[in-house]
Amino acid sequence: MRTHTTIADSTSHTFLTGAIVFANLDYSGLAGYAIKAAIGGAIWMIFKLTGDYLSDRLLARKKKKEAEENNNEEKDN
């Protein structure tokens, strides 16, 4: 008697699960979510860029102030 071996492949299970999930999606809700996510991402990007700009500007101002203090100390000596 000959035995048949089967190979366990999860691809078919993954495809079936994906098909069921995508069949039950609310596409209008998904579009609304995508718009909200894009707007939220844009707001986050604006805050991030503004913070980076201000941080660089404050660091440059601090370095300039320290350099001026060092120059004043050298002149005093």
Q: How many Å apart are CA 23 and CA 16, to the nearest integer?
A: 11
Whether the pLDDT of residue 12 is over 80: the answer is no
Query: Residue 66 falls within a domain, yes or no?
Result: yes
Query: Residue 45 falls within a domain, yes or no?
Result: yes
pLDDT in tens, 16-75: 888 888 888 777 888 889 999 999 999 999 999 999 999 999 999 999 888 888 887 777
pTM: 0.52
Q: How far is CA 5 from CA 2, 8, 10, 23, in A?
A: 10, 10, 16, 33
Sign of the C-alpha dihedral, residues 18, 20, 21, 24? positive
Query: Residue 21 falls within a domain, yes or no?
Result: no
Query: Residue 38 falls within a domain, yes or no?
Result: yes
Query: Residue 70 falls within a domain, yes or no?
Result: yes
Query: Residue 42 falls within a domain, yes or no?
Result: yes
Query: Residue 2 falls within a domain, yes or no?
Result: no
pLDDT of residue 77: 59
Q: How many domains would you assign to the chain?
A: 1
* Domain assignment of residue 40, given as a range: 26-76
